[in-house]
Amino acid sequence: MSAYAQLAAHFHALSAIEGASAILGWDYEVMMPSGAAEIRAEQLAALAGIAHAKLTEPAIGEWLAQAADESLTEWQAANIREMKREYAHATALPADLVEALTRATTACEHVWRSARAENDFARFQQYFEPVLALVREAAVIKGEALGLHPYDALLDSYDPGMRRAIIDPVFDDLQAFLPPFIEQVIAYQAAHKPFTPLADAIPIAKQEALGRQMMQLLGFDFTQGRIDISAHPFCGGVPGDIRLTTRYRESAFTESLYGVLHETGHALYEMGLPAEWRNQPVGRARGMSLHESQSLLVEMQLCRGRDFLHFALPLMREAFGTAGATWDEENMARSLTRVERSLIRVNADEATYPLHVMLRYRLEQALLSGDLPVADLPAAWDDGMQAALGIRPDCVGNGCMQDVHWPGGSIGYFPTYTLGAITAAQLFDAARRVIPDLSAHIRKGNFVPLFGWLREQVHSRASLHSTPDLITQATGQPLNVAIYKAHLTQRYLDQP
């Protein structure tokens, strides 16, 4: 066998191990009995150790060196590039640290569920401090091995090539733009866009049925995936076996519906990855900012737009058996594009959402460096929310404990949400320019042109190109925050 063939076989087997861990992780969030957390932590830690050992075998380094002299196709060469990146990240960490991280994060996530509900920060702190210490240790080790700042090393884990030097100017631009823009929008809404809140209580069974219908209309294949309920909506599983979750409240059906739509965007990306490269690094999604762009393109760009609402609102009224002025298109559009200051990130509108992300971006860097002790996190969070949005959390459950990311050890992930939103606006803008009558297609419920274009330009290319190159090839220009700001201005101030 050639060196490349040996690498491909090795990473194919590794993919199966990682896939098993992904399904066990989904089961942990959705189906596992609460008393099984300890044994599941051991199972996941063992699999993490096996995967790490397989990814750090000395033979991989030898094969990578030998493969450099072989004649490779474009996809094979890109696969080698991705293998090298994964190998560099993995060999930086000792196996005992990988297993310890898995145990600590699994235990912390389990405690977080009940501690958040009970607003028990002290209990959460006991489990989060060990997680943070281990993440800090891993970040320092990776940073030294890769020649990166520790936080940049974490960023690179979620979004290859992402650095603070790229993020900071973008966030500085948004930080200058958003607060006065939000003030202007709230005043504009009060003067020009009054709306009647949707007071109907929608049974959960009807919400579930509508969510499934919308998923199918967008192209989700239920022979290769499913949807369930969890404390925090997510898209998990593996390509070919996609697992979505959402959560429901009878008094707020749009939260669950748009959570479903958001996660469906993630799922369609995974389902559109090239099957022939499914078990290879190059066949994976190209980083989390691009992944978030796909979910936010569906949720925000497409499904909160007037064209989609024109098609979907009659289906909502039929599914729920509702009628009246609150369920007309104008009122629904205003309710779905309402800008208001709120405490919960996952429920935030797209204008205020980046401020939530930027707060977390600042705080998690301070946590990682040690400048912010965990004990001081609630006060720092509350002060940050006051400065960013002019509101203070009423409890830690609605404050610094609201997200699963930090208890799960995912420090460096949050920036991808806003980078994804900017990318989503740019991709949707490009789709409108190149697809004839896209608006008319959407109004008729024909989503094939849009998702066909996305599959061609984004999904099918997987990790063949870097994120900047992929964005430039798909849209004709590098990432441009001005397109996102123009989208916000047009949607929320009715200005071209």
Say whether both 10 and 129 belong to one domain. Answer: yes
Residue 159 maps to a domain? no
DSSP annotation string for 341-393: --S-GGG--TTTHHHHHHHHHHHHHHHHHTSS-GGGHHHHHHHHHHHHHS---
Catalytic residue among 263, 270, 292, 364: 263
* pLDDT at res. 279: 96
Residue 295 maps to a domain? yes
- Report the alpha-carbon distance of residue 172 to residue 110 in Å, rounded: 35
Domain range for residue 257? 165-493
Among the candidates 93, 122, 150, a domain finishes at: 150
Say whether both 68 and 138 belong to one domain. Answer: yes
Buried b (16+ CB within 10 A) or exposed e, 133-147: ebbbbbbebbbeeee
User: In which residue are the tokens 């599959």 written?
Assistant: 455
Q: Is 263 known to be catalytic?
A: yes
Say whether both 50 and 27 belong to one domain. Answer: yes
Residue 195 maps to a domain? yes
Say whether both 80 and 222 belong to one domain. Answer: no
Strand partners of residue 238: 241
Residue 117 maps to a domain? yes
User: In which residue are the tokens 């050639």 written?
Assistant: 2
Among the candidates 119, 150, 181, a domain finishes at: 150
Among the candidates 121, 150, 179, a domain finishes at: 150
How many domains does the chain contain in total? 2
* pLDDT at res. 193: 85
Residue 37 maps to a domain? yes
- Report the alpha-carbon distance of residue 29 to residue 407 in Å, rounded: 13
Q: Of all helices (H) and strands (E), which one includes residue 280? A: none
Average pLDDT per 10 consecutive residues for the chain, totaling 496 residues: 97 97 94 92 92 95 96 98 95 92 93 96 98 98 95 95 94 96 96 86 96 98 96 90 94 92 97 97 96 97 97 96 90 93 92 98 98 98 96 97 96 97 98 96 98 98 95 96 97 86
- The sign of the CA dihedral 483, 462, 171, 233 is positive
Say whether both 129 and 170 belong to one domain. Answer: no
Amino acid at 329: E
Q: Of all helices (H) and strands (E), which one includes residue 191? A: helix 164-192
Please tell me the pTM assigned to this model. 0.93
Say whether both 223 and 145 belong to one domain. Answer: no
The neighbour count for residue 189, using CB atoms within 10 Å, is 18
Residue 160 maps to a domain? no
- The sign of the CA dihedral 456, 459, 463, 469 is positive
Buried b (16+ CB within 10 A) or exposed e, 73-95: eebbbbbbbbbbbbbebbbbbee
Phi, psi of 238 (to 5 degrees): -140, 160
Residue 384 maps to a domain? yes
Q: Token pair of 111, please?
A: 């405690």
Q: Which of 200, 421, 194, 184 is nearest to 299 (CA)?
A: 421
Q: Token pair of 415, please?
A: 């920036």
- The sign of the CA dihedral 96, 97, 103, 107 is positive
* pLDDT at res. 200: 84
Say whether both 218 and 100 belong to one domain. Answer: no
- Report the alpha-carbon distance of residue 290 to residue 467 in Å, rounded: 7
Q: What is the CATH number of the domain that holds 339?
A: 1.10.1370.30
* pLDDT at res. 194: 85
Q: Token pair of 154, please?
A: 């974490």
- Rounded to whole angstroms, what are the CA distances from 306 to 69, 94, 219, 301? 54, 52, 20, 10
CB 132 within 8 A of CB 367: yes
Say whether both 16 and 104 belong to one domain. Answer: yes
Say whether both 171 and 91 belong to one domain. Answer: no
Say whether both 475 and 357 belong to one domain. Answer: yes
Residue 156 maps to a domain? no
Pairing of strands 235-238, 241-246: antiparallel
The neighbour count for residue 8, using CB atoms within 10 Å, is 21
Say whether both 218 and 259 belong to one domain. Answer: yes
* pLDDT at res. 496: 67
Burial of 220 (0-12, 13-18, 19+ CB in 10 A): buried
**Over the stretch 32-86, which tens digit does the pLDDT of each residue have?**
998 998 999 999 999 999 999 999 999 999 999 999 999 999 999 999 999 999 9
CB 105 within 8 A of CB 162: no
Say whether both 143 and 170 belong to one domain. Answer: no
